[in-house]
Amino acid sequence: MSAPSDRSSSIPTSAGPCRIPLIHDDGSVVGLVYRLAPDAVSALLPEGPIEPYVAFGRATILLAAFDYRSSSIGPYRQVALTILAKRRGSAPTLFGSFRDLETDPDLGLFVIELPVSSPLAFAAAGEIWGYPVYETKIATEFRPDGLVVDVLGDVTLRMGLGGGLSTSALPLVTFSSVNDALVRTVITGAYQVRWGGTRTVELEIAGDGPLGEALLRLGIDGVKPAMAFRSDAVESSFPQGVVVGAG
């Protein structure tokens, strides 16, 4: 990943300055995609301009864990629980939206919980992007034969070796609320992801923290994901979001 351009800026936070765009030079990610009943998913969304995107009678959840070994705010880890959501009343096309999430302004991933492992990541995520973030201990092991992600005392994820299908990473597009405004952020990445491994996924949920509580409310405990992916060469650019409406 190249260095920030001359158009980059630094935004102060309570834990120190954060350069925008936030650059991740090296990291690993594992993502689990679940298809769940819309009622359980809707219950986790706040009242407002966003609602779950429902296709074929199911809503979509993405649970993704990142180990950022190098970034412009230092190394840190995070686990994002997100809901594929649309602006209320909009009607994104099914196949067009999944093919290129970046181009549809009505579609994005609404962040429900975001545990992170460093004070600066905590401050930046909450103060700049408005994510529902909290700081906690997160341990990760990304080995060639499998991985372990442990949000200590709350959630443990294990996954074995996945399949062989490899594709370019899709942009991650998030919705969040900043100062009562709906903000959309397009996070671009230049790396490959490998798909597969759903049958090897084991998710242990103690429910002693916000992430575990949300997963239990969704009914994910004991459910295998519909899809899973992994990468060990994550490079991404995380810009400041754009206001797209009232929050």
What pLDDT, on a 0 to 100 scale, did the predictor assign at position 101?
Answer: 75
CA-based nearest residue to 109, from 60, 58, 48: 60
Strands 133-135 and 58-71, by their bridges, are: unpaired
In a domain, 98, yes or no: yes
What pLDDT, on a 0 to 100 scale, did the predictor assign at position 2?
Answer: 33
In this predicted structure, the answer to whether residue 5 has a pLDDT above a threshold of 50 is no
Q: How confident is the model at residue 79 (pLDDT cuts 50, 70, 90)?
A: very high
Structure token digits, residue 104: 């549809």
In a domain, 7, yes or no: no
Distance of CA 34 to the CA centre of its chain: 13
In a domain, 2, yes or no: no
In a domain, 108, yes or no: yes
Task: Kindly tell me the sign of the dihedral angle through the C-alpha atoms of 114, 186, 163, 161.
Answer: negative
Q: How far is residue 201's CA from residue 179's CA, in Å, rounded to a whole number?
A: 38
DSSP letters of 124-142? HHHHTS---EEE--EEEEE
Quickly list H helices, the chain: 38-42, 94-99, 119-127, 210-218
What pLDDT, on a 0 to 100 scale, did the predictor assign at position 162?
Answer: 77
What pLDDT, on a 0 to 100 scale, did the predictor assign at position 105?
Answer: 87
DSSP state of 118: S
Q: How confident is the model at residue 6 (pLDDT cuts 50, 70, 90)?
A: very low
In a domain, 4, yes or no: no
CATH assignment of the domain containing 29: 2.40.400.10
Q: Is the pTM of this model over 0.85?
A: yes
In a domain, 58, yes or no: yes
How many domains does the structure of the chain reveal?
1
Find the range with the poorest average confidence among 91-100, 148-157, 227-236. 91-100
In a domain, 180, yes or no: yes
Mean local confidence (pLDDT), 65-69: 98
In a domain, 47, yes or no: yes
Mean local confidence (pLDDT), 37-63: 94
What's the domain range around 133?
12-246
Mean local confidence (pLDDT), 12-39: 96
DSSP state of 88: T
Residue that is written with structure tokens 């949920």 in the block: 205
